[in-house]
Structure 1
Amino acid sequence: MKATINDVAKQAEVSIKTVSRVINNEVSVRQATRDKVLAAVKALDYQPNLAARNLAGTKSYSIAYVYDNPNAYYIIDMQKGILSACKKQGYELLIHPCNAKADNITQEISTMVKQSRVAGLVLTPPFSEMPEFVQQMKQLDVKIVRIMSGDVAPDDLTPCIMVNDHQASYKITQHLIDLGHRHIGFIVGGAEHKSSSERLSGYTQALKDNDIAISENLIVHGEYSFESGVHGAKSLIAEEIKPTAIFSCNDEIAAGALFAARLMNIAIPEELSIVGFENSPFSRQTWPTLTTADQPNDQIAENATNLLIAHVRNQSLKNIVTHYTPELVVRNSTGRVSTDKNI
């Protein structure tokens, strides 16, 4: 027979309310009491019914991840990190993919929040970078944590996890410059994502600091997709002054650029170096493997979710800002610039 909360309370010799507080990870329980309750939960193999708990009380034990992002690996890592935090803290996760450009998007998310009784929202780009949308969500009395690109939070609307794409991009570009590259192409991701402009600005800043002229002909605008990498690389290689290296705004774009180079019989990295960004599985599945920047999306997401749940429980009253800077990972797709070969 399935154990109930009454069984746990009886075995731990505490009240049902105390068991509930322990299960909900509330801070107002002594450690010795918490240990007794958790031991009883384990011994009885008690499984709380989170859905019933949502219906029975005034509190909600669900949070939602709202996203519109074409990068499947990014979404998988985010879901993994959010779900990890939810499981540890006794919360359910609602996944809500949608179109950020839809005319009725605010109404759609508002309806979801009300009908699903979610306590909080984890927002990633482009939603996290839409202040009017965030303001309207806050009017629903729902807690929000945003994951954003940049080194400084743009406002104090919500707690934020900031990813310093500019600095990471600067380091990648400097790595290429240190290898002797001066004609470095750049394939930009989707314009609606601030990460695109932040990574582009890191690239241009590194060029300026090394007295390398910025050529608009070496900058190609695209989307965060494999196809953009293919088209972008072909466009760059068709230029009169050809790049000796291509910096792609993410690993998927870089994989496409590498594919295009292979089609044109260009040796990587002997004739052309290619770098990506994020350290997604794309960077490890290509040949040669891609030099990239390691962005720990699952860790970022778990941190954001813990911060959100702390706000839901009123354990954290300040709009905390946490920072991450992706780190350079050097692999086989970059090498010293060739002086005796031309693409």
Structure 2
Amino acid sequence: MKATIKDVAKLAGVSFKTVSRVINNESNVKAETLEKVRHAINTLNYQPNQAARNLAAMQSYAIGYVYDNPNAYYVIDMQKGLLTACHERDYELLIYPCDASSESIAENLLGMVSRSKLAGLVLSPPLSEMPEVLSQIAESGVPFVGIVSGSAPDIAEGRWVCVDDRKAAGQIVEHLIALGHKRIGFLSGDHSHRSTLERERGYRDALKKHGLVDDDTLRFDGQYAFNSGVEGIKALLSLPEPPTAVFACNDEIASGALFHARLHGLNVPQQLAIAGFENSPFSLQTWPPITTAAQPTNEIARQAGDMLISTIQERRTGKDTEKTKKERYFCPELLIRDSTRQEP
């Protein structure tokens, strides 16, 4: 089996960061430590990733944003936030859409880093939530920041912007419960995204907290798409005892549900309350406008870019990278609109 950078660190009795500094020819490594690491590299016949060596050999002032997400509004907001961070720090931004399901996705990303002479990467879901991809990028020594739902993955070399989807989803469902709803449907997004799982956990947390039955028939497995909302609400409304309220995993799903409900003569919110998530333009392009959780994607991206650039600069100057916080947190806020609001 091919040796990894973690194997080298273990044999040399040093940290992953120290091995990375030796590989990248940084000057702040003691001679004794340098000798131990080089001996471990030779013993294990470890071959550092070429992308990492190329990265260390230059002073690049460009970062990459890598994504596989069909939601154009999310991607645009991410780009805006990252561009703000780059302009503030005199960096350039390269946008790289990709296919996260490709078997060679990690190799493709590292090859792109090398060819484009990038100093680091920002990853959004689902790429930021794929352990194998994260491990290979970490092993290469390429600095990266991942935007994730819930808690940070157990990859010490990365930096993370964490979004508390679970808490925000719970707040939405508690809002629906406070309005008197007892049968609340859940329209999920793709299960390859941790945000789907976290939002479903928040939904179930709220039901449990208020002693409501967690009925499997009220949950519809779908995708982050308008048509999924149409199909989902169609299935839920066909139940012998349909829900009086629905929480959708994002605003695009919610708008599909709202479209179908109104098309079939249902009064929203009097007969069916509908809530979404993210506060995307979809939530305002419907009638009535949709209750949602305001997720500050632009600011999340700006913080991710700022964190990545700080990490890159600290590595170059030999400063302790612990100065840059490893995690930053956001919790989307409940935004009540007419799709759930009832007249007094």
Q: TM-score normalised by the shorter chain: which range applies?
A: 0.7 to 0.9
Where does residue 285 of structure 2 map in the other structure? 285
Q: 2:331 is aligned with what amino acid?
A: T
User: Does 2:335 align with 1:329?
Assistant: yes
Give 3-state SS (helix, strand or coil) of 1:177's partner.
Answer: helix
Q: Distance in 2 between matches of 1:111 and 1:178?
A: 52
Per the alignment, residue 119 of structure 2 pairs with: 119
Q: Per-residue displacement from partner, 1:265-312 (whole Å, max 9, x unpaired)?
A: 111111100000000111111110010000000000000100000000
Match of 1:145 in 2: 145
Q: CA deviation at 1:153?
A: 4.7
Which residues of 2 match residues 104-253 of structure 1 at below 5 A? 104-151=104-151, 153-253=153-253
After superposition, give the CA deviation of every residue in 1:180-238 in whole Å (9 maximum; x if it has no partner).
00100000000100000000000001000100000000000000010110100101111
Measure how far apart 1:320 and its partner are. Answer: 1.5
Structure 1 residue corresponding to 2:321, chosen from 298, 314, 317: 317
Deviation at 1:75, TM superposition (A): 0.6
Shift of 1:336: 4.8
Q: Which moved more, 1:150-159 or 1:319-328?
A: 150-159
Q: For 1:252 and 1:169, locate their aligned partners in 2 and report how far apart those are by CA, in whole Å.
A: 16
Per-residue Cα deviation, 1:9-36 (whole angstroms, up to 9, x for no partner): xxxxxxxxxxxxxxxxxxxxxxxxxxxx
Query: How many Å apart are 1:69 and its aligned residue?
Result: 0.7
User: Which has the larger displacement, 264-273 or 101-110?
Assistant: 101-110
Letter in 1 for 2:253: I
Task: Name structure 2 gaps, 5 residues minimum.
Answer: 1-53
Deviations 1:73-117 (A, max 9, x none): 111110110011111111111100011001221221121011011
- Identity in percent: 48
Q: Is the 8 A contact 1:180 1:336 kept in 2?
A: no
1:151, distance to aligned residue in structure 2 (A): 4.0
Distance 2:112 2:172 in 1: 40
CA distance in 1, matches of 2:62, 2:75: 19
- How far did residue 156 of structure 1 move? 2.3
Provide the rounded CA distance (Å) in 2 between the counterparts of 1:103 and 1:153.
21
Equivalent in the alignment of 1:299: 299
In 2, the alpha carbon distance for the partners of 1:82 and 1:316 equals 24
Count of aligned residue pairs for this structure pair: 283
Residue identity opposite 1:328 in structure 2: L
Separation in 2 of the partners of 1:247 and 1:154? 30
Q: What letter matches 2:321 in structure 1?
A: L
Q: Is 2:134–2:155's contact at 8 Å kept on the other side of the alignment?
A: no
Q: Answer yes or no: is the 8 Å Cα contact 2:149–2:195 preserved in 1.
A: yes
Q: Secondary structure at the match of 2:122?
A: strand
Greater shift, 134-143 or 297-306, is seen at 134-143
Distance 2:152 2:64 in 1: 25
CA contact (8 A) 1:100 1:126 kept: yes
Q: 1-side partners of 2:80 and 2:255: how far apart?
A: 23
Show the counterpart of 1:258: 258
Q: Would the alpha carbon gap of residues 324 and 138 (structure 1) be closer, same or farther in structure 2, given more than 3 Å must change? A: same
* 1:273 to 2:273 alignment: yes
Partners of 1:90 and 1:329 lie apart in 2 by 35
SS of aligned partner of 1:313:
helix
- 8 Å CA contact 1:68–1:99 kept in 2: the answer is yes
In 1, Cα distance between the equivalents of 2:265 and 2:186?
20
What TM-score comes out, normalization by structure 1 length?
0.80
- Which residue type is aligned with residue 334 of structure 1? T
For residues 285 and 191 of structure 1, the distance between their equivalents in structure 2, rounded to whole angstroms, comes to: 26
Inter-CA distance 271–155: structure 2 relative to 1 (3 Å threshold):
same
Asked if the contact 2:135–2:155 (Cα under 8 Å) also holds between the matched residues in 1, the reply is no
Q: Which residues in structure 2 correspond to 1:19-168 (within 5 Å)?
A: 58-151=58-151, 153-168=153-168
Flag the 1:69–1:305 CA change in 2: closer, same or farther, 3 A. Answer: same
- Where structure 1 has 5 or more consecutive residues not aligned to the other structure, the ranges are 1-53, 338-343
Shift of 1:154: 4.0
